[in-house]
A and B are shown apart, each in its own frame.
Chain A
Amino acid sequence: DGGITQSPKYLFRKEGQNVTLSCEQNLNHDAMYWYRQDPGQGLRLIYYSQIVNDFQKGDIAEGYSVSREKKESFPLTVTSAQKNPTAFYLCASSMEGLSAEKLFFGSGTQLSVL
């Protein structure tokens, strides 16, 4: 899988623990996104970033944090404040910096709580 890489594929979180999901892209895309996917539901936006050192909250940002120190990287931290973190997390990028068009997704990380 080239283009956008997420790791790890599976992740387990203990009670009270923060965990970080990695997302790296080599597409030279300006915009990057984090979505959460729950069974039977559509994708919901957690955070997005249009440029380096800038990011904005999405619809369900509570309990999550991000950083965008490099254009290629947009890691997501699931903090202990997120009480229901079990979900499939998808990172995406887009050449269109000003709109969420033609998103290119990573393969996802399945996060589960121990």
Chain B
Amino acid sequence: GENVEQHPSTLSVQEGDSAVIKCTYSDSASNYFPWYKQELGKRPQLIIDIRSNVGEKKDQRIAVTLNKTAKHFSLHITETQPEDSAVYFCAASMRTGANNLFFGTGTRLTVIP
């Protein structure tokens, strides 16, 4: 099955700096890559997703890049703010029609004011 690895497990940045979280996946058939944000004590929420037919997607301060050849994708947060502090999970889906997302182990991001 699919194996998703996520790094780093913890990340601290100064407010205003950028944060980058990286994930690798094992199955070249994976074609859908979402990122979820889980604030302390709250539910995970989808913040951005990308399909394998594009290499990059942006939404305001958040961007995701995908390298299909190397089988890795990354989340980039620019101009970080304290409210960005949370655990971020990447995930991969093996194929359209599959009802399973394979999640990474999460990255705890702390933005220091």
A45 touches B105 (CB 8 A): no
Contact at A103–B101, with CB atoms within 8 Å?
yes
Knowing A42-B89, A43-B89 are in contact, say whether A98-B42 is a contact too (CB < 8 A): no
Decide yes or no whether B54 CB sits under 8 A from chain A: no
- Of B9, B34, B100, B103, which is in contact with the most chain A CB atoms at under 10 Å from its CB? B100
A5 → chain B closest CB, angstroms: 11
Q: A90-B44, A105-B44, A106-B43 are in contact. Are A42 and B103 (CB under 8 A)?
A: yes
CB pair A100 B100 closer than 8 Å: yes
Q: Across the interface, do B103 and A101 meet the contact criterion of CB distance under 8 Å?
A: no
Q: What residues of A have a CB within 8 angstroms of the CB of B91 in the complex?
A: 42
Q: Answer yes or no: A75 CB below 8 A from chain B CBs.
A: no
Main secondary structure of the interface of A (DSSP, over half): loop
Instruction: State in angstroms the CA–CA spacing of A43 and B100 once bound together.
Output: 11
Least CB distance from A114 to B in Å reads: 23
Contact of A98 with B99 at beta-carbon distance under 8 Å, contacts A40-B105, A42-B106 already known: yes
The number of residues on chain A lying at the interface, defined by a beta carbon within 8 Å of a beta carbon of chain B, is 25
B89 close to A59 (CB less than 8 A): no
Please tell me which one of the listed residues A40, A98, A100, A108 contacts residue B101 in the complex, with CB atoms under 8 A apart.
A100
User: B45 in the interface, Cβ–Cβ < 8 Å?
Assistant: yes
B96 contact set on A, CB distance < 8 A:
98-99
> Which residues in A have some Cβ–Cβ distance to B below 8 Å?
31, 33, 40-45, 48, 50, 56, 58-59, 90, 98-108
Interface string of B82-113 (1 = CB under 8 A from A): 00000001010100111111111110000000
Closest to B104 in A: A42
B34: A residues at CB distance < 8 A: 101-103
Q: How far, in whole Å, are A43 and B88 apart by their CA atoms in the complex?
A: 12
CA distance A107 to B42 in the complex (A): 6
Q: Can you list 30 contacts pairing A with B, beta carbon distance less than 8 Å? A: A40-B9, A40-B106, A41-B106, A42-B6, A42-B91, A42-B102, A43-B103, A45-B101, A48-B99, A48-B100, A58-B100, A59-B1, A98-B97, A98-B99, A99-B93, A99-B96, A100-B98, A100-B99, A100-B100, A100-B101, A101-B32, A101-B34, A101-B49, A103-B101, A104-B46, A105-B43, A105-B44, A105-B45, A107-B42, A107-B43
